[in-house]
Amino acid sequence: MKNNESILPYVGFFQVQIDIPACRSVKERRQVVRSLIDKIRRRWNVSAIDLGPENRWDQAYLAFSLVGTSYGMCKDRIEALKNFLEREEEMATFNIIHFWQEVDAYGDLSDAED
């Protein structure tokens, strides 16, 4: 790499709130959420977490993060993930309540120490 080139990683974050009206227990909620998270991890290789809430089995807040080499790359992957969730919503037992997404440049790594 040339000395004047910068390496700028981009970080994408995506959060979704879903309603799971058919769930009547924490176990049922866990099955729906785990299945969804596992499908997403396998397909897009993103980090994923169930943020809760712990005291409700009819809702879930899921968050996903990814790293890319460009803003467009991160934005496209998040959009694909969003489209996947919307398709799953049509076939599954959950309803999407809210999406939130953000993509930011992390910082210049060209001067990073080894």
pLDDT tens for 46-82 read 999 999 998 889 999 999 999 999 999 999 999 999 9
Judged against a pLDDT cut of 50, whether residue 90 lies above it is answered with yes
Segment 18-29 mean pLDDT: 92
Q: CB under 8 Å to 41, separation ≥6 — which residues? A: 48
Please state the rounded mean pLDDT for residues 22-38.
92
Task: Give CA separation, 41 vs 46, 63, 107, in Å.
Answer: 5, 12, 26
Higher-confidence residue of 108 and 107: namely 107
Give the architecture (CATH level 2) of 21-105.
2-Layer Sandwich (3.30)
CA geometry: angle 68, 69, 73, nearest 5 deg: 60
